[in-house]
């Protein structure tokens, strides 16, 4: 060790010290003073240079290095932690009617009778930041933010400063356990903190949640230690052993390990009980010593929770019941139009700035043309603005008594404000869409931003601003251009390093960050294409179903024939109906898109993905068809279960079908299967088969 340290030249040591202190200075400017002196790109360049030096001379690293201290600009300086079990969000209900809808869905999915009881465990929805804390043999090993749900930021050092979080668990705990819950700040502590901040002439926080967020994301955990953060546990991540049969028991176990839980909670078995709890909490809310933005209802029985599973990014077995949004009245000064990735023209209200729900709002969405007409919103009007939780502020109506005689009706454009093409509202759509497609700069830019965004190619060095700049300078006009940047720079066709704000090093880093992301999983790749209605969940289903780009492209060309097998195959995929299918097919049948795909395929490496769960189940890789009425499971539960077990569920019998599961009153499909000699199973046989491990 000593020897290698000696071999580092004085130059390197000095360079290291200089870089390290520069970065610390910029961190302070950014986080503490709120007045950064350098652009993000410049900061990143310095940071990467430091990382590179440390990689070359690990002996230089000390605990004080900016790469080691926890806290800072989260996506840049925190280490990443993969969640072994994703951290999901929650669906919402806002009314009794929607709550009934949620409960009905539970009964339907579980195929239970309304006379059966589904207990719901209800708890406060704490307005803070969620966090997952991992313990092994009872000792905290790390803690992470939710991040994108799959990967969070390592905030272990900061979490360790929170007094109400145990470093060691008490009592009888499983060998591995991840406790999930909310980091927040008590109201009175928040008031005191703001008082102190004010006295010190430092940043005053808009609300307790922001204060908690700012405090948790400190670069220096000794700053976090001075902040009065708190924690309530409410859920589990990975556990090596069950700690209860119900949500209520989980909560009790979490508390027995030394955590606090939010109070009061309620175990309800009827919708009336839930509503009573809601009404009680609506009144008590103001007196609670912490902020809540609603309640969370969770199916109490864990076996049911498991059967219900997840839809996309939220559990079917839980929902949030939000409190009504806070409202305010302000003046609508103007309406601007934003053109999105798929050409939709969205009207945005420019407002006289006003504080609502703890933040100052100066823009709000007006959704679409019909919405403006329905609400009869006019420029100059006093409008009612509402903001609920983290939802974008909305305009809910106009104060007619205050309407001025000079208020102006807004005429929705019938051409795109960016490219001038016609903007048309199609019969079955609410959206007015720019018809310019590829010639519309706004659409093209938005698509590029989507292409490089976090759930897509995730190219860190290419933020929105840089995409805009490179678009305007004609350096990047299509996704393919991203991957030819380095070559073109070398051949002097372009000259990024001479541009303002750029230099040798930042250009090198940019190329590196592109290089690093050339390998991409097939689902992310599909998502990156920005096909209308194809979000992350659908992209994943397509990737699993078609395995590679060549097959997908070819099948989508074949699927143009709606009577053919390829089309049927496409709409047999869960969640893909006629409308989504139409958008996918038209994307792949557009010749320009095919050219881009061909070019991309040569420049990036697309990796197939596999369904990891249960590849050893007896139905894994098998093609299943369900027909007739099932009694113990709903059709959707049966289908979801089959897919979780690695089977493919299709809608029609063919020679490729392995099993037909025939419920009551099975008709023509059963006959066809018998004719083809396909194994048919009763519902009970299916349940036995699906519960076998292998
Ligand atoms: S349970 C899979 N319980 O709300 C379900 N979440 O909008 C995981 N939250 O990300 C969440 N209080 O940050 C749960 N009692 C509570 C909660 C709660 C607050 C937050 C949490 C979550 C968000 C979803």
Alpha carbon distance 590, 208 (integer Å): 50
Query: Beta partners for 344?
Result: 433
3-state secondary structure 468-506: HHHHHCCCCCCHHHHHHHHHHHHCCCCCHHHCCCCCHHH
From atom 15 of ligand 1, which residue's Cα is the shortest distance away?
A: 125
Residue 600 Cα to ligand 1 midpoint, Å, equals 39
Pocket test for ligand 1, best of 89, 184, 230 (most atoms within 8 A of CB): 89
Alpha carbon distance 671, 677 (integer Å): 10
Helix (H) or strand (E) holding 596: helix 591-603
Helix, strand, or coil here: 47?
A: helix
Residues 50 and 66: beta-carbon distance below 8 Å:
yes
Residue 483, ligand 1, Cβ within 6 A: no
Q: Is residue 508 annotated as part of the catalytic site, yes or no?
A: no
Residue 484 Cα to ligand 1 midpoint, Å, equals 43
Residue 122, ligand 1, Cβ within 6 A: no
Residue 254, ligand 1, Cβ within 6 A: no
> Torsions phi, psi of 94, nearest 5?
-120, -5
Residue 526 Cα to ligand 1 midpoint, Å, equals 30
What local confidence, expressed as pLDDT, does residue 70 receive? 37
Contacts of 23 by beta carbon, 8 Å cutoff, 6+ apart: 43, 46, 47, 50, 66
Residues 206 and 214: beta-carbon distance below 8 Å:
no
Residue 123, ligand 1, Cβ within 6 A: yes
What local confidence, expressed as pLDDT, does residue 388 receive? 65
Residue 130 Cα to ligand 1 midpoint, Å, equals 7
**Is the Cα dihedral 102, 103, 107, 113 positive or negative?**
negative
Closest C-alpha among 583, 584, 452 to residue 520: 452
Query: From the candidates 24, 29, 80, 125, which is the catalytic residue?
Result: 125
Both tokens of residue 348?
């945005």
Residue 315, ligand 1, Cβ within 6 A: yes
Helix, strand, or coil here: 182?
A: strand
**Quick one: which atom of ligand 1 is closest to the CA of 389?**
7
What local confidence, expressed as pLDDT, does residue 389 receive? 59
From atom 2 of ligand 1, which residue's Cα is the shortest distance away?
A: 88
136-to-87, 152, 179, 238, 688 alpha-carbon distances in Å = 19, 19, 11, 11, 35
692-to-166, 301, 360, 541, 619 alpha-carbon distances in Å = 39, 22, 56, 25, 10
Pocket test for ligand 1, best of 87, 90, 179 (most atoms within 8 A of CB): 90
Calculate the CA dihedral of residues 248, 254, 255, 257 and round it to 10 degrees.
150
Residues 431 and 533: beta-carbon distance below 8 Å:
no
Residue 183 Cα to ligand 1 midpoint, Å, equals 11
Alpha carbon distance 126, 146 (integer Å): 15
Residue 125, ligand 1, Cβ within 6 A: yes
Q: E strands within 156-252?
A: 176-185, 229-239
**Quick one: which atom of ligand 1 is closest to the CA of 235?**
1
Residue 296, ligand 1, Cβ within 6 A: yes
From atom 21 of ligand 1, which residue's Cα is the shortest distance away?
A: 130
Helix, strand, or coil here: 347?
A: strand
Mean pLDDT for back-to-back runs of 10 residues, the chain (694 residues)? 52 84 72 56 76 78 64 56 90 92 95 93 96 96 90 92 94 97 95 91 84 88 91 97 97 97 96 96 89 95 94 89 86 96 94 81 91 94 82 86 93 95 88 90 95 92 92 94 96 93 91 95 96 92 95 96 93 89 94 93 94 73 90 85 86 89 89 90 89 64
Contacts of 7 by beta carbon, 8 Å cutoff, 6+ apart: none
Residues 485 and 491: beta-carbon distance below 8 Å:
no
From atom 23 of ligand 1, which residue's Cα is the shortest distance away?
A: 89
Tokens 């940047």 correspond to: 485
Residue 232, ligand 1, Cβ within 6 A: no
Residue 88, ligand 1, Cβ within 6 A: yes
Count of all residues that appear for the chain in the document: 694
pTM of the model: 0.59
Residue 462, ligand 1, Cβ within 6 A: no
Query: Beta partners for 53?
Result: none
Residue 653, ligand 1, Cβ within 6 A: no
Pocket test for ligand 1, best of 102, 125, 179, 298 (most atoms within 8 A of CB): 125
From atom 9 of ligand 1, which residue's Cα is the shortest distance away?
A: 125
What region does 258 belong to: left with phi over 0, alpha with psi -120 to 50, or beta? left
CA atoms within 13 A on the CB side of 398: 21
Alpha carbon distance 219, 68 (integer Å): 10
Residue 524, ligand 1, Cβ within 6 A: no
Residue 90, ligand 1, Cβ within 6 A: yes
**Quick one: which atom of ligand 1 is closest to the CA of 129?**
13
Alpha carbon distance 412, 507 (integer Å): 42
Helix, strand, or coil here: 66?
A: coil
Query: Beta partners for 347?
Result: 337
Residues 395 and 366: beta-carbon distance below 8 Å:
yes
Helix, strand, or coil here: 50?
A: helix
**Is the Cα dihedral 547, 443, 514, 516 positive or negative?**
negative
Residue 234, ligand 1, Cβ within 6 A: yes
Residues 525 and 607: beta-carbon distance below 8 Å:
no
From atom 18 of ligand 1, which residue's Cα is the shortest distance away?
A: 125
Pocket test for ligand 1, best of 126, 262, 294 (most atoms within 8 A of CB): 126
Residue 495 Cα to ligand 1 midpoint, Å, equals 48
Closest C-alpha among 303, 343, 550, 310 to residue 434: 343
Residue 89 Cα to ligand 1 midpoint, Å, equals 7
Closest C-alpha among 183, 220, 190 to residue 207: 190
């Amino acid at each position: 060790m000593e020897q290698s340290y000696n071999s580092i030249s004085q130059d390197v040591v000095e360079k290291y010290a200089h870089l390290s202190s520069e970065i610390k200075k910029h961190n302070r400017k950014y986080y503490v003073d709120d007045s950064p002196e350098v652009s993000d790109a410049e900061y990143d360049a310095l940071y990467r240079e430091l990382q590179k030096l440390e990689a070359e001379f690990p002996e230089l690293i000390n605990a004080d290095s900016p790469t080691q201290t926890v806290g800072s600009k989260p996506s840049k300086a925190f280490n990443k932690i993969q969640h072994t079990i994703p951290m999901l969000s929650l669906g919402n209900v806002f009314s009794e009617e929607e709550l009934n809808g949620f409960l009905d869905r539970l009964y339907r999915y579980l195929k239970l009778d309304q006379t059966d009881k589904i207990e719901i465990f209800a708890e406060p929805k704490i307005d803070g930041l969620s966090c997952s804390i991992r313990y092994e043999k009872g000792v905290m090993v790390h803690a992470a933010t939710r991040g994108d749900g799959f990967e969070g930021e390592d905030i272990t050092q900061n979490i360790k400063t929170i007094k109400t979080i145990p470093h060691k668990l008490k009592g009888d705990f499983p060998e591995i356990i991840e406790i999930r819950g909310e980091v927040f700040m008590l109201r009175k502590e928040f008031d005191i903190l703001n008082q102190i901040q004010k006295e010190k002439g430092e940043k005053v926080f808009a609300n307790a949640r922001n204060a908690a967020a700012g405090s948790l994301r400190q670069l220096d955990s000794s700053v976090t230690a001075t902040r009065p953060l708190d924690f309530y546990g409410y859920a589990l991540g990975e556990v090596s052993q069950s700690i209860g049969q119900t949500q209520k028991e989980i909560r009790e176990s979490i508390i027995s390990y030394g955590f606090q839980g939010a109070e009061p909670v309620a175990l309800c078995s009827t919708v009336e009980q839930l509503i009573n709890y809601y009404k009680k909490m609506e009144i008590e809310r103001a007196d609670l010593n912490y902020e809540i933005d609603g309640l969370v209802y969770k199916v109490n029985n864990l076996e049911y929770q498991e059967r219900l599973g997840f839809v996309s990014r939220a559990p079917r077995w839980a929902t949030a019941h939000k409190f009504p949004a806070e409202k305010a009245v302000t003046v609508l000064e103007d309406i601007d139009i934003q053109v999105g990735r798929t050409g939709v023209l969205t009207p945005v209200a420019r407002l006289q700035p006003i504080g609502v729900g703890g933040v100052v709002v100066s823009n709000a969405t007006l959704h679409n043309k019909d919405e403006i007409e329905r609400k009869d919103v006019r420029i100059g009007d006093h409008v009612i603005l509402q903001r609920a939780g983290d939802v974008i502020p909305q305009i809910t109506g106009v104060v007619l008594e205050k309407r001025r005689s000079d208020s102006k009706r807004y005429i929705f454009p019938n051409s795109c404000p960016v490219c001038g093409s016609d903007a048309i509202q199609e019969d079955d759509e609410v959206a007015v869409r720019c018809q310019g497609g590829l010639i519309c700069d706004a659409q093209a830019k938005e698509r590029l931003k989507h292409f490089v965004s976090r759930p897509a190619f995730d190219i860190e060095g290419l933020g929105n601003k840089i995409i805009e700049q490179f678009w305007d300078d004609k350096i990047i006009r299509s996704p393919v251009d991203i991957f030819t940047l380095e070559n073109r720079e070398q051949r002097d066709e372009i000259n990024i390093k001479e541009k303002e704000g750029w230099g040798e090093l930042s250009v090198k880093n940019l190329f590196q960050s592109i290089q690093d992301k050339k390998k991409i999983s097939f689902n992310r790749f599909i998502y990156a294409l920005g096909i209308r209605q194809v979000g992350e969940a659908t992209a994943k289903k397509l990737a699993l179903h078609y395995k590679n780009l060549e097959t997908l492209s070819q099948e989508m060309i074949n699927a143009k024939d709606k009577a053919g097998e390829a089309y049927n195959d496409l709409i047999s995929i869960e969640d893909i109906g006629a409308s989504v299918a139409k958008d996918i097919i038209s994307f792949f049948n557009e010749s320009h898109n095919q050219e881009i795909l061909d070019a991309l395929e040569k420049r990036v490496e697309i990796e197939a993905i596999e369904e990891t769960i249960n590849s050893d189940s007896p139905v894994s890789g098998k093609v299943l068809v369900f027909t007739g009425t099932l009694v113990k499971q709903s059709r959707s539960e049966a289908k979801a279960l089959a897919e979780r077990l690695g089977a493919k569920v299709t809608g029609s019998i063919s020679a490729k079908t392995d099993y037909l599961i025939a419920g009551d009153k099975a008709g023509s499909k059963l006959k066809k299967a018998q004719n083809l000699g396909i194994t048919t199973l009763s519902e009970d046989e299916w349940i036995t088969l699906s519960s076998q491990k292998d």
